[in-house]
Structure 1
Amino acid sequence: MIANISRRNVLQGAGVAALGAVFAVVATGCATVTPAGEAVDGGSDLLALAKKQGYLRVGIANEPPYTQVNSDGTVTGCEPDVLKAVCKRLGIDDVQGIITPYESMIPGLQANRWDAVAAGLFMKQSRCAEVLYSEPVIVSTESFGVPIGNPKNILAVADVLADSSLRIAVLPGGFEEGILNTAKVPAAQQVKVNDGRSGIEALAADRADAFFLPTLSLRALAETDKSFETTEQVPDAPRTGSGAAFRTTDTAFHKAYNTELAAFKKTPEFKEILDTWGFDAAAVEGVTADELCKTEG
């Protein structure tokens, strides 16, 4: 089972829209997955419990290359693949993925619907105040997806602030929404979309002038959709990165995870995973969660 996140918590063969619909059912059922008397809560030993029951429940997204739902319902992607490898080193043989929107990831974690988040949930001050992040697995940049030729010349957040007519698509609860809010881009200029595909559709339908998303996410979308182009790195967007996120009470698990993650980063397998998904393992070297958690938002 370690080769793929468990299929028990995702709908086999379903598309992204169906996966979103099934999330409510999966999340509701999570409270009863663990036997009575052994529920994961703030006072439990998550590491001991996960070893005993043989699995860890993880909140994920469907945003390649960070996370990806395959046609058969299995989940892969850079962050889940790293998390599976580290969990195996901890003696946890199965990782069960639960699809959820970004704005629900931390609330669901705090409500014990899952035990961790591994979904490209970028570190920033507000999130770091609510969860314990592992050390970074990836460091990422931001770009705009724009119509071919970038007719409105949108290259920076400053361009959005300078023209109140511009409409920028963002994922609710996403890091990019936080960047716009921190820059005081009015809500009227923000077009909320459900996922990557919805953002590109908003561009095509002229409901948005640009789609703000991580550079690699936009490039992954562009592999199957040639209706838009991806700008260079947005110069006034902060450098960011992500790792697994845990409840603030799961300090023992967090410490053990970081220890094994540090060891795993020294293996060829870590670089292989990042290379597979288009990330640069060297970009993570020397970058700490403490540094990334200083990002405003």
Structure 2
Amino acid sequence: MRLFYSETKNVRRICFMLLTAAMATFLFTGCGNPGSQSSSPGASAGETTLEKVRREGSVTIGFANEKPYAYQTAQGELTGEAVEVARAVLKNLGIDEMKGVLTEFGSLIPGLQAQRFDMVTAGMFITPERAGDVSFANPEYSIGQAIAVKKGNPLDLHSYEDIAGHETALVAVPGGAIEYDYLTAVGVAKDRIVTVPDMPSALAALQAGRVDVITATGPSLQSTLDTANNPDFERVTDFEQPVIDGKSVRGYGATAFRKEDGDFVEAFNKELKNLQDSGELLKILQEFGFTEEELPGDMTLEELIK
């Protein structure tokens, strides 16, 4: 009995010591600098994402390989409207290197929140719903929607309403893109919307006869068609812009940041305005098929999400 009691006592002592150590570890790690929880990977304790990327001179961006907004060339170069606008802004902030993380459009916001990258430069439209998940910079461009069909427009489609009114028309749209919401809002049945990873996949679906029409923003659709250079497809030139809840769906695109990166957004907006005031923003946009009509004007984030 004595031996049993002694072993039990030792076991209890050991368990108590282990429990004490575990509690100490928990308290030590759990009571650190609260601000460090909002820092991005590689940041020092209490350091914001902006401070980190300025110190490193490098930033990691998320993009979805969609022309003309953000894509990789055959030579592996990262470029596009959103990329080059961000590159010019970041250079003025002392950040010269950009590293890209390719992901599907629908994974951009989750990837940003999961800290896979520091910001998203993918020509993403500002919407109140997205603004609930991320912090947008002010808009850098404004554009409308467009559709493409097989040559001759066999189903005579000229609007989203025409797609909704047709009994069998199937439409392809990249997963997570705002066009999905517009299509359902005008009455297109969800089972007639085919989601695809990107615009090249949408065009492949049209070519294979899996869909009858594809849709995207005007510059993105035009860039896809120009790259394919296939006379079997055509853009519907008299397309009627959707009107949702009495408002035009003309969209405004911007760079997205994590919610906690307010200082980054503020610094980005300041340099973006300088680009616009100097005329440099228009020059960058024009390189990717945009015109003066696609400039954002005086539109601000607050006006778009109110």
2:199 counterpart of 1:196 = yes
Partner in structure 1 of residue 279 of structure 2: 268
Task: Determine if contact 1:170/1:192 at 8 Å carries over to the other structure.
Answer: yes
1:51-66 correspondence runs (5 A): 51-66=54-69
Q: For residues 82 and 166 of structure 1, what CA distance do their matches in structure 2 show?
A: 37
2:288 counterpart of 1:249 = no
2:92 counterpart of 1:92 = no
CA distances 1:216-251 after superposition (whole Å, capped 9, x unpaired): 112112222222111134421500021110011101
TM-score by length of 1: 0.82
2:298 counterpart of 1:292 = no
- The Cα shift of 1:179 comes to 1.4
Choose which of 26, 38, 45 in structure 1 pairs with 2:44. 38
Residue identity matched to 2:280: E
- The Cα shift of 1:199 comes to 1.0
1:271-282 correspondence runs (5 A): 271-282=282-293
* Percentage of matched positions with identical amino acids: 32
Residue identity matched to 1:252: D
- The Cα shift of 1:184 comes to 4.2
Partner in structure 2 of residue 130 of structure 1: 133
Residue identity matched to 1:292: L
Partner in structure 2 of residue 231 of structure 1: 236
- The Cα shift of 1:107 comes to 0.4
Task: Determine if contact 1:134/1:254 at 8 Å carries over to the other structure.
Answer: yes
Q: For residues 209 and 305 of structure 2, what CA distance do their matches in structure 1 show?
A: 35
Partner in structure 2 of residue 68 of structure 1: 71
Task: Determine if contact 2:105/2:197 at 8 Å carries over to the other structure.
Answer: no
CA RMSD of aligned residues (A): 1.8
1:158-197 correspondence runs (5 A): 158-197=161-200
Task: Determine if contact 1:133/1:244 at 8 Å carries over to the other structure.
Answer: yes
Q: For residues 224 and 165 of structure 2, what CA distance do their matches in structure 1 show?
A: 28
CA distances 1:238-278 after superposition (whole Å, capped 9, x unpaired): 00021110011101111111111111112232221111111
Residue identity matched to 2:282: K
Residue identity matched to 1:38: S
Q: For residues 299 and 140 of structure 2, what CA distance do their matches in structure 1 show?
A: 9
Residue identity matched to 2:301: A
Q: For residues 38 and 229 of structure 1, what CA distance do their matches in structure 2 show?
A: 52
Q: For residues 120 and 179 of structure 2, what CA distance do their matches in structure 1 show?
A: 18
Q: For residues 239 and 271 of structure 1, what CA distance do their matches in structure 2 show?
A: 18
State how many pairs are aligned: 258
CA distances 1:72-107 after superposition (whole Å, capped 9, x unpaired): 111111110000000011111111111111110000
The SS at the match of 2:202 is helix
- Structure that is richer in helix per residue: 2
Task: Report which of the two structures shows the higher radius of gyration computed on alpha carbons.
Answer: 2
Between stretches 276-285 and 257-266, larger displacement belongs to 276-285
Q: 1:38 to 1:281 in 2, by over 3 A?
A: farther
2:123 counterpart of 1:120 = yes
Task: Determine if contact 1:124/1:293 at 8 Å carries over to the other structure.
Answer: yes
Residue identity matched to 1:135: N
The SS at the match of 2:138 is coil
Choose which of 240, 250, 258 in structure 1 pairs with 2:251. 240
The SS at the match of 2:277 is coil
Partner in structure 1 of residue 113 of structure 2: 110
Choose which of 126, 137, 142 in structure 2 pairs with 1:139. 142
- The Cα shift of 1:34 comes to 4.5
Q: For residues 252 and 100 of structure 1, what CA distance do their matches in structure 2 show?
A: 26
TM-score by length of 2: 0.79
Task: Determine if contact 1:164/1:189 at 8 Å carries over to the other structure.
Answer: no
Task: Determine if contact 2:41/2:115 at 8 Å carries over to the other structure.
Answer: no
